[in-house]
Chain A
Amino acid sequence: MSVLDEIRGLSDYSDPRNVQPTESLISKYNIPIDHFEFAYVEKCHDGRELEKILQILKSGEEGYYPELAQATEDRLRIVKPKSRYLRKSTAVLQKNDLQREDFDEISKDMRNFVANAGKRDKELEGRKSKKPYCEVEVRQCEKKEITDVEKKKNNEKRIASTDYKSWDKYDPDTEVLKMDIEEEREIKAALEEKEKKEKESKEKYKPKKSVTFNKFATEAEAIFNSEREREKGNEFFKAGDFQEALHCYTTSIQSKPTINNLNNRAVTCLKLKKYEEALKDCNKVLTIDKENLKANIRKAEALQKLERFEEALKSIELAIQKDPNNTTAQDLADSIRKKCFREVKNTRMKIVEIE
């Protein structure tokens, strides 16, 4: 991490003249010379070979062929679009590189942030607490220190190459057996641990409502916590871990309910097939913001799953009013209408039969 290491690292890489090539790249990669042809390159399907050809051409060892290099690069972009040889470094944009409107948008965004952050900062400064408070005790370890035990073990086992007496006693078969037993033991331990984990995870999802929440002394703290938990929930949601996501969103809502975290919990509940809960969250959002698009769509979805089609239709129509071009809303509306229509049809059929 010293400057010296850094300089050494630089000289190794950035300046090829410092490295004395013992053999040229072309012989190292063993690529026949007739592959350096437009005809070959444009038809090549081997991404790895194209990468090598590109490297050789760019190194300049065989001469200067910019057009062939360009053709190889173009082909590589088709065959292997994620190749690391296609990565181009750009300069960081400066303020005056930006388009006028982009720049304005960024400045506006920053002004908002600065104003908001300043307000919360002041609030926190006014409520400074002298004592560090925490409900968790200071860690009490029986063993305060641990050292590398592993290394020592290895040193003891090693037999010096000149220690012939010990080598006479050494029986490779028993050693192999020992290793096998050790391996088996490890696998067994891992299996046991796996079972334990499964058990734990089962226990973990039992509803534990006894968790108490400390009320935050300041608004700023509540907002901060709420935001952090929501972000954590979003990550779990994206990774498909809906149970954990639900937990995070609930914590977030307990810190401070907002449109965002309620909406997110609603969609998580939908994924977990908890339609009643989803409906509740959507209704909460709609009391804050009557025309909220996401809440209306999700409410419609929940109602559809609960087979309350007429109410669902009402919600989805509200959503479509707000954003007529929303394709998910349109698709959902279609399927709900079909259901509604069928119900109507069924009842009519009955009437016909009675008559």
Chain B
Amino acid sequence: MEVLERPQIICHNEKALDYSIQDVKWIPCSAKFVSIGGKSNGAGIVEIYSLTSDNLEKVSEFAKRDHFKCCTFEASSLRNRHLATGDYSGRLQVWDLEDNIWPVYKTTQHKAIINAIDGVSGTNSGCGAPEIVTGSRDGSVMVWDVRQKDIPVAKFVPSIETAARDCWSVAFGNSYNNEERVVAAGYDNGDIKIYDLKTMKLRWSKCVKNGVVGLQFDRKNIPMNKLVATTLESKIYCYDVRTKHPKKGFACVTERAHKSTVWNIKHLPQNREIFMTTGGTGSLWLWKYVYPDRRVEKDADGLPYGVPGELSSLQNATLSEQPITGFDWCIDKIGLAVSSAFDQTLRVLIVTKLNLY
């Protein structure tokens, strides 16, 4: 489909805050989002903002002992909408946003900062139990079920304690029925690993040259389709993880963009072929994955191997002068997004014409 008019990125609202923002997430089924981070006095803070027709209003806030690093709603049901957070001291906590004196669930198993968090299966049934995965500087990746206290349901640790690499990113995927599920993890040395939670085995491992900052499957609740990883030094790797060949592995497309670290990768929830990457120079880049004519070919032995497609650039725009570290698409409204940058500013964005792709 040839579309003449490209999507435009529009800044709908912005708000300067007085703390460093680490992550932003929309509250599902609402026009509200949370912003988390830490104040200069060391306290962690969670704020809830509500979108009015043309303004941004703070609804409530609460502060805790340590800086919050990352958060997700995706392991919680729509009726609860509990926020799972990871903080600088390695605590995982799950909050009821209206009753936030004590967390609903907490663990202190990680020894260092939790860099990344992801949730799965909170809202949809038939795709397994709701679980949270956390990746930490101590090198371990742990999977949690809020119904089980203190002990993770699965744990992936480095073989030698001293050689532990800082885990920078985690993502769930392949969760298309009650049994199957994988966790992908990206490390500071450029390792990307896919762990299978059903067989408890390392399913795939690959080293890209630079530290993996962002990692996401295009959709969590289907047989795994694509995995996108973003790294330091402006590289984007997009793997077709549908077909794995014993020698060739997964088909891969790479792109250079942003001229700096690519901090974030977020697929559009309404269309898995479109995703946004955010850069260290304050730029946003909108991509679309175009499949090749035939996704799978057969080699001389009759074994299938994947054929890489192409990444086409839909739009790129500069938003701020500082790295954009937080970005989240709104699941209830196509094209609506919120971002946070090192310049301590929240921005509500609208990307137009996405329904045409």
- Where the two chains meet, the residues of A that have a C-beta atom closer than 8 Å to any C-beta of B are 1, 3, 5-6, 9-10, 12-14, 82, 84, 87-95, 98, 106-107, 110-111, 113-114, 117-118, 120-121, 124, 127-129, 132-139, 141-152, 183, 186-187, 189-191, 194, 211, 214, 217-218, 220-221, 224-225, 227-228, 231-232, 234-235, 238-239, 244
Contact = CB atoms under 8 A, between A and B. Distances in A.
A191 B302 contact: yes
B87 interface: no
B168 interface: yes
B159 A149 contact: yes
Interface of B: 8-12, 27-32, 51-54, 76-81, 115, 123-126, 128-131, 143, 145-148, 151-159, 168, 178, 188, 195, 197, 200-202, 205, 211, 213, 219, 221-222, 232-234, 245-247, 255-256, 259-261, 269-273, 280-281, 283-284, 291, 301-304, 310, 312-313, 315-319, 323, 331-333, 336, 342, 349-350, 352
Contact of B280 (A10, A107, A151, A238): A10
Contacts of A183: 246-247
23 contacts: A1-B211, A14-B259, A87-B313, A88-B316, A92-B9, A93-B10, A95-B10, A95-B12, A121-B32, A124-B78, A129-B79, A132-B80, A134-B147, A135-B125, A136-B128, A139-B131, A146-B202, A190-B303, A211-B126, A221-B79, A224-B332, A235-B271, A238-B273
A224 B247 contact: no
B291 A121 contact: no
Nearest to A111: B53
B12 A235 contact: no
Nearest to A3: B342
Contact of B222 (A89, A189, A232): A232
Given A1-B115, A1-B188, A13-B260, 8 more contacts: A1-B211, A84-B256, A87-B316, A89-B317, A92-B11, A139-B143, A190-B246, A235-B273
A141 B154 CA distance: 7
Given A98-B10, A129-B79, A183-B247, A191 B301 contact: yes
Contacts of A150: 202, 205
Contacts of A137: 129
A350 B125 CA distance: 61
Contacts of A149: 159, 202
A136 B128 CA distance: 6
A132 B132 CA distance: 14
Contacts of B316: 87-90
A94 B12 CA distance: 7
A81 to B, nearest CB: 11
A138 B132 CA distance: 12
A134 B129 contact: yes
Contacts of B77: 129, 132-133
Contacts, number: 226
Contact of A231 (B201, B232, B271): B271
Contacts of B147: 132, 134, 138
Nearest to B284: A92
A194 B303 contact: yes
A354 to B, nearest CB: 54
Contacts of B315: 90
B129 A228 contact: no
B232 to A, nearest CB: 6
Contact of A124 (B79, B188, B269, B313): B79
Contact of B168 (A1, A82, A110, A142): A1
A98 B350 CA distance: 12
Contact of B78 (A13, A98, A224): A224
Nearest to B52: A114
A187 B11 contact: no
Given A139-B129, A146-B195, A220-B29, A113 B332 contact: yes
A194 B245 CA distance: 10
B256 to A, nearest CB: 7
Contact of B31 (A84, A118, A136, A190): A118
Nearest to B298: A194
Given A146-B156, A150-B205, A110 B28 contact: no
Contact of A139 (B10, B78, B124, B154): B154
A246 to B, nearest CB: 14
A32 to B, nearest CB: 27
A124 B76 CA distance: 13
Given A137-B129, A146-B200, A113 B260 contact: no
B202 A6 contact: no
Given A1-B115, A113-B333, A186-B246, A92 B318 contact: yes
Contact of B130 (A134, A147, A214, A217): A134
Contacts of A107: 53-54
Given A129-B77, A231-B270, A235-B272, A90 B350 contact: no
Contact of A214 (B125, B195, B281): B125
A98 B79 CA distance: 38
Contacts of B30: 117-118, 120-121, 124
Nearest to B333: A113
Contact of A148 (B9, B158, B247): B158
